[in-house]
Structure 1
Amino acid sequence: MTTLAPSPGQIRRWRRALAEERAEARIYRNLAARAAGAERQILTELADAERRHEAHWENLLGEHAGPTRMPLRVAILGFLARVFGFVFVLALVQRSEERSTYEADVDATDQMAADERIHSEVIRALAARGRAAMSGSFRAAVFGANDGLVSNLALVLGIGAAGVADSTVLLTGVAGLLAGALSMAAGEYVSVKSQVELLSASAPDPRSADAVAALDVDANELALVYRARGMDAEAAAARASDVLATHSAALEASEAPSLDGVGSPWMAAGSSFLFFASGAIIPILPWLFGLSGVPAMALAAVLVGIVLMVTGGVVGVLSGSSPLKRALRQLAIGYGAAAATIVLGRLFGTSVS
């Protein structure tokens, strides 16, 4: 580090770094206020670590430190936290920590660069808990909404490109929404209901516990029950001996496959219906509001494109990858499907009205 008076350029760069550190400390304190238990303690300690980094830049700046303007992203993160929740902000903070430039900054210490790498891993681990907790419902929401967006956009654009009346396009879109949403709901209901039935079929029969007291201590097949459940022969024999010695229940309900996280078939069906319908209604909005022909088709494509970009970006943020790449991928998939149906509509139809 230079011992000369800092140049105006250095002062500006150091103040930006100071503002970033103060912002990150504030983010961690805000997140800690929303957390509890170990998560709150971890986030509070991260805020304290950022305070050490603040002190480094304050020492360099001296009289030039002073108050710094809160970066816009702090306000944005606060808004996103209220709208999307704790996990969304953690994912954004993780990306921010990963982009730290301290390793190439001659004015930052090696310890500060190492701190940022460790902070990234801490945030990654905290975010992983939330991602695991929301993975099932989030997958269903993204899958259902995107399915509705893409399938109904492809449907109405394909029909519209065939040159049919606008009322037919609208009717087709509404039919596609209802048919797709009902199909999704029925499929999800059958899927979850079947999973519950399969797990329930594997649960121990409580009546078998009544047979324990009558078993022959020297010749019985109780150990085979535990071997069939995955225990090795020695462990199964020890378990069977203990059960026979205490006359406790041989087939405890606690050993049944857990139904936790499977959910209700009706709840799964209802959420799938709503997710699909929320996406499928977007492509038919132009016709619902009176547009027709090519303008309606163009607006439908734009609306769906915007929503696809937003959902793709959200997926990118939550997965810790580039939001722009995920957004463009979603857009390419959706528009690719729509383009294929437009070509088919033109081939088998007449002309666009």
Structure 2
Amino acid sequence: MNSSSAVPDVPPTAAERRRWARYLVDERAEADVYRRLAGRRAGEERAILLALADAEGRHEAHWLDLLGGEPSRLPRPGIRTQTLGWMASRFGSIFVLALAQSAEERSPYDDDPHASAAMAADEKVHYEVVRGLAARGRRRLSGSFRAAVFGANDGLVSNLALVMGIGATGVAPQLVLFSGVAGLLAGALSMGAGEYVSVRSQRELLEATEPSDYANATLNDLDLDANELALVYRTRGMPEDQALVRAREAVASAQQGTAHPGEPLAARDDDDVVGSAWRAAISSFLFFASGAIIPVLPWILGLSGLAAVVLALVLVGIALMATGAAVGVLSGAPPLRRALRQLAIGYGAAAVTYALGLAFGVTLG
């Protein structure tokens, strides 16, 4: 990019210089974030992040040219960028990439006449690059994160609804506490058992659908030109002509006593994809329990009545918004919107059961 071509024909105003200085600081801060992230990565991801930092350096040079050199005073980076840098140097997590993705999406260069078209295009490409890097982390995290968020939110919402409903009937605080603890154990055990069955069933299904070595020992007895091995490859989605070639290669290799050069018939190991059923069960139990204990805390602390209900609502509200915001950050969506959605779902369920509890309390009374 030839940054000198963007030098204005008329002297810049003070407001323009302040804006350019802000852009300069932001570009430097973003480049620093990418370098810090690269320091915690290796291989291809490290190279990609360093390339992004270099690109931000080119943008930095553009604003330096417009400013006529390094200004004597520069504004401080924004709080968001400072937070990104702090997180990148200490965690290097998927959260940093997700936040960087959101920052790249909000580039102001499309509407700024002093930013070149190439710079605006760069920012869009940077968004896609960071999105791709974040997607890698999301795929690695998706299974465990899904279990954590689903389990914790299920515990929060279901046990809040339970204690609200029971408490609204006017029963003694000890009964509300007992109901909450029982709901915690029952729900956590149910989640753990369900996750175990789910993962175990998935493993068994994959084992049933993977290629086997049942026919490997007989490959050298097949006719080289007319054999059904090609049908095996066709069932796996290979075109007929390619399947026939692969089958002939396999039979010829078996007859010559050499290794099979084509696709192996033996089953592949899917343990890393599916994971351990017991590990999934224990994780789901703990995640649910960690969420379900929060609505019960006020009664564990000895509170009762309205004070316990209000404290339970506040604690659960904070937890729901935190998990919702985390989902929003990781998915690249607005965190506040996701947080409010989680809060509305949780409080909505609690309101329904509380109303039912009041109705039953009046009836029993």
TM-score where L is the length of structure 1: 0.91
Deviations 1:180-222 (A, max 9, x none): 1110000000111111122223344535322233445576533
**Residue number in structure 2 paired with 1:96:** 103
**Residue number in structure 2 paired with 1:301:** 313
Q: Is the 8 A contact 1:94 1:120 kept in 2?
A: yes
- Tell me whether 1:325 sits opposite 2:332 in the alignment: no
Q: What is the correspondence of 1:1-353 to structure 2 with a 5 Å cutoff?
A: 3-62=9-68, 65-66=71-72, 68=74, 69-81=76-88, 85-215=92-222, 220-247=227-254, 252-254=264-266, 256=268, 258-350=270-362
The separation in 2 between residues aligned to 1:60 and 1:292, in whole angstroms, is: 66
Kindly provide the amino acid, as one letter, of the partner of residue 332 in structure 2.
G
Gap regions ≥5 residues in structure 1: none
The separation in 1 between residues aligned to 2:175 and 2:333, in whole angstroms, is: 41
The separation in 1 between residues aligned to 2:125 and 2:225, in whole angstroms, is: 58
Kindly provide the amino acid, as one letter, of the partner of residue 277 in structure 1.
A
The separation in 2 between residues aligned to 1:17 and 1:227, in whole angstroms, is: 57
Deviates more, 1:25-34 or 1:206-215: 206-215
TM-score where L is the length of structure 2: 0.88
Kindly provide the amino acid, as one letter, of the partner of residue 188 in structure 1.
E
The separation in 1 between residues aligned to 2:224 and 2:114, in whole angstroms, is: 77
Deviations 1:4-37 (A, max 9, x none): 5544433332222222111111111111111111
The structure-2 alpha-carbon separation of the partners of 1:221 and 1:26, relative to structure 1 and needing over 3 Å to count, comes to: closer
Deviates more, 1:236-245 or 1:213-222: 213-222
The separation in 2 between residues aligned to 1:232 and 1:63, in whole angstroms, is: 63
Gap regions ≥5 residues in structure 2: 1-6
Kindly provide the amino acid, as one letter, of the partner of residue 104 in structure 1.
D
1:82 deviates by 6.7
Deviations 1:280-310 (A, max 9, x none): 1111111111211111111111111111111
Aligned length: 351
Q: Please provide the CA RMSD for this pair.
A: 2.5
The structure-2 alpha-carbon separation of the partners of 1:224 and 1:54, relative to structure 1 and needing over 3 Å to count, comes to: closer
1:259 deviates by 4.2
Kindly provide the amino acid, as one letter, of the partner of residue 41 in structure 1.
A
The separation in 1 between residues aligned to 2:77 and 2:215, in whole angstroms, is: 67
Kindly provide the amino acid, as one letter, of the partner of residue 40 in structure 2.
R
The structure-2 alpha-carbon separation of the partners of 1:218 and 1:63, relative to structure 1 and needing over 3 Å to count, comes to: closer
Deviates more, 1:111-120 or 1:76-85: 76-85
Q: Is the 8 A contact 2:163 2:180 kept in 1?
A: yes
